[in-house]
Amino acid sequence: MKIFKPTHKLLTVVVTLFILSFITNTLAQEKIQMVRLAKIKVDPLQLDKYNIALKEQMTTAVRLEPGVLTYYAVADKNEPSHITILEIYADTTAYKSHIETTHFKKYKETVKDMVKSLELVDVTLIGSANKMEK
């Protein structure tokens, strides 16, 4: 009976494959989309100004930043000053880059006295359907 003894070369290949597998898995995990809900209560007397600033920030971010994938902003029909924003970023790196941009900082400065409360909720996207997708 012949006993299989791994050679140095075979052992090197196995270890290399294991390391590459680990690195690939780690990189893939880092590229998971970041999905967040921003729940905002705005001063009702400043709602029109807030909506203008929000729309400017959203359209600029989507236009200029490849990592900003989606923004949807909705207002509660019974309380229009209660706004929820669905934000989808390519990954956490894209989000971190986004909050350092000039247009985002301008938005934050513009609305700082308009926003009464802000709750950020990280969520997991479990599905989507959209007729506008190409």
pLDDT in tens, 8-51: 665 565 555 555 555 555 444 446 899 999 999 999 999 999 99
The predicted model scores a pTM of 0.74
Q: What was the pLDDT predicted at 10?
A: 58
The CA-CA-CA angle for residues 64, 99, 24, to 5°, reads: 80
Question: pLDDT band at 129, cuts 50/70/90?
Answer: confident
Of 7-21, 51-65, 80-94, which gets the smallest average pLDDT? 7-21
Domains of the chain, start order: 34-119 (3.30.70.100)
Of 8-12, 77-81, 97-101, which gets the smallest average pLDDT? 8-12
Those residues with Cβ within 8 angstroms of residue 70's Cβ, 6 or more apart along the chain or in another chain: 62, 86, 87, 88
- H helices within 31-126, ranges in order? 47-64, 92-98, 102-111
Q: What was the pLDDT predicted at 125?
A: 87
